[in-house]
Structure formats: structure tokens, C-alpha cells
Amino acid sequence: MTTISEWNERFGITGAAEIMAGQGGLAMVRVTAPAASAEIYLHGAQVTSWKPAGNDEVLFLSSESRFEDGKAIRGGIPICFPWFRGKTDDPKAPAHGVVRTKEWELVSVAQAGEDVVVTLATESDEASRRWWPYAYRVVYRVTVGAQLGLEFTAINTDSRAQRIEEALHTYHRVGDAAQIRVMGLDGTAYLDNMDGNREKIQHGDVVFTQQTDNAYLDTRAELDLVDPVLGRRIRTEKKNSITTVVWNPWESGAKALSDLGDDEWRQMACVEASNILGAAVVLAPGEEHGMAAVISVTNGR
């Protein structure tokens, strides 16, 4: 197995990127670019921190997160693939798929002007085939700069077609979830997972008054999370994503999650690019599909 020092010797960039041991001793890439800093774990290819220059932390990370092999990290940007939530035909399968709890391959770290681009990949193996009997390869390209660019590509390396769901499950750090609003979904149909996935219509901005788990359908528009407490606006622009998930566990849901502090639900809100449920992607043998999101921050209410 490649050691952290070997990764750093191969991929480290003096003054811009270092591969080091993070929490739990797990390998991570720490980016210190002129335009932003970030932390990206090889475990799940998970971005856990992003701070554009002159701004505070944009991503939420639970103080109770587990940094262990086989365990999901609570916060940052988990990758959900090849299913979302529970696997419909197997309740024993891990939630949100098989790639978020394994160590990914670090493919490259490169500078692009003031940005740093980190590319990771993983593919099917004996462990994944226990739950998903198809061959695949996925590649994830993270561009750290004044904007955070996320490009996820799934390649069907099997001889059979496969139907995949995917999500970039972004946890935004907020001042108070009860005071934020999400703009850009007015008039959009959504499935309410807290009400048996009944289809409803969004009226006005999304505000949080209770546990919320909505999958917005046929939506490609940019979204703004407006945070009056932290005095900023977080924008998500997406490409090749036609569903958007908005989630907050609220007080009741937080208490049921052992890796989330009881009061931490106030500090987070998930707004994520995805293709799930009826928007799942069917890949023919040899076919690939890319989904992308760009996150940016502006100060002001």
C-alpha cells in the first residue's frame, strides 16, 4: 500500500498542496492555494473544508464525525453512488452506495493559475460487488479556488447496462438553519421524503421549520442559500443534474444520528446536485456520464 509520505513525494506541491495524515490518521490533501484553502480526504474522496480567501469556512463538519475505515464522514461533501438513501431492494446495503466509505486512488494534483486541481478515482472491486454486481469506474475532479468546482464522472465498464443514482451531498455551514432560505426552487415539484415521498409544489423560497428531506424534480437552475446570520450567500450552479436534494434533520432527526451533535442541525443545511429516483441515469456498456457543480460565496444578506 502506498504510504502518505510516498503520496506526498509524488503529488505534493510546495506552498500549494500537501498530502498528510488527517483525523483518524486518514490520508488527506491539504490545499493552500492563493485563492482558497481546502481539505480533501482520500477516504470517500470527501471534501471536508473549503475556505475562499477572505471568507470563513463554507462547509459543515460535525464534531462527532467518525474518521474510520468503513465509516462515513458526517459533513463536507460525501459522494453518493450508485444509489441514494437506502438501496430499494436490499435494506442491509450501506446507505448512499459503496464509494463514500472506501479509500480512493489519488490520480493527480496540479496547479491551474491560482487554483489547485485534485483528481481522484475508484472502481468496482470484490467488496462493492457484494452490494452492486456491476463493474464501474468513477473519477472525481475537485478544483479549489475562489469557486469550488466538483466534477463527477461515472463510467460503465461492465458488459451490461446499469442504472445509477448520484449525488454530491453538500453540507453547507450556516449560522442558524431556522433563519436561512434557499432561493431558486419556487414553483418546482418535489417529493417529500418526510411524507411518504408525496409529490408537492414549492411555493416561494425554501425555509426550514421542521425536519426536511425534499427531492426537487426537473430542476437545473442555480440555487442561492441566503444566510442572514453569517451575512453571506452560497450559490450552487450545476450541470447534467436534474434533481436537487434539500435536507436538514432538525432536532428530532439529529438525536437519531450518533455522528451528529444534538444541536448541530442548526449549523448545517444540505443543498445538493443529484440525479436520483426517476432521474437516475442509465449507462450502456462502455458509456460514461458526468455531473458537475460549482459553489461560490458572496458576502451580504
Cα 193 to chain center, whole Å? 19
Calpha distance 1→17 (Å, rounded): 21
Pull the grid cell for residue 169: 451531498
Please give the Cα distance from 147 to 273 (Å, whole number).
16
pLDDT of residue 9: 94
Whether the predicted pLDDT of 1 surpasses 70: no
Task: Round the average pLDDT of the chain to a whole number and report it.
Answer: 96
Q: Which of 226, 209, 217, 212 is nearest to 185 (CA)?
A: 217
Q: How many CB atoms lie within 10 A of CB 7?
A: 18
63-99 per-position pLDDT tens digit:
999 999 999 999 999 999 999 999 989 999 999 999 9
User: Is 126 labeled as catalytic in the residue annotation?
Assistant: no
Residues sharing a CB contact under 8 Å with residue 271, sequence separation 6 or more, in sequence order? 170, 172, 182, 223, 225, 234, 236, 244, 245, 246
| Cβ atoms 201, 171 nearer than 8 A | no
Rounded (5°) CA angle 187-188-190: 135
Model confidence band, residue 2 (pLDDT cutoffs 50, 70, 90): confident
CA–CA gap between residue 268 and residue 75 (Å, rounded): 9
Write phi, then psi, for 249 (nearest 5 degrees): -75, -15
Q: Are 217 and 243 in contact (CB under 8 A)?
A: yes
Domains of the chain, with CATH numbers?
Answer: 4-299 (2.70.98.10)
Whether 152 contacts 168, CB under 8 Å:
yes
Q: Point out the catalytic residue in the list 18, 166, 264, 272.
A: 272
pTM: 0.96
Which of 151, 169, 172, 264 is the catalytic position?
Answer: 169
47/53 Cα distance (integer angstroms)? 17
Show the cell assigned to 142.
475537485
* Chain segment 165-174, per-residue pLDDT in tens: 999 999 999 9
> How far is residue 100's CA from residue 44's CA, in Å, rounded to a whole number?
4
Edge-to-edge strands of the sheet including 288-299?
A: 105-112, 115-123, 136-144, 148-156, 288-299, 232-239, 223-227, 181-183, 206-207
What pLDDT does residue 35 have? 93
Residues paired with residue 293 on neighbouring β-strands, in sequence order: 150, 238
Q: pLDDT grade, residue 301 (50/70/90)?
A: low
Residue 169 annotated among the catalytic residues of the structure: yes
Residues 6+ apart with CB under 8 A from 129: none
CA distance 174 to 180: 8
Identify the pLDDT of residue 38: 98
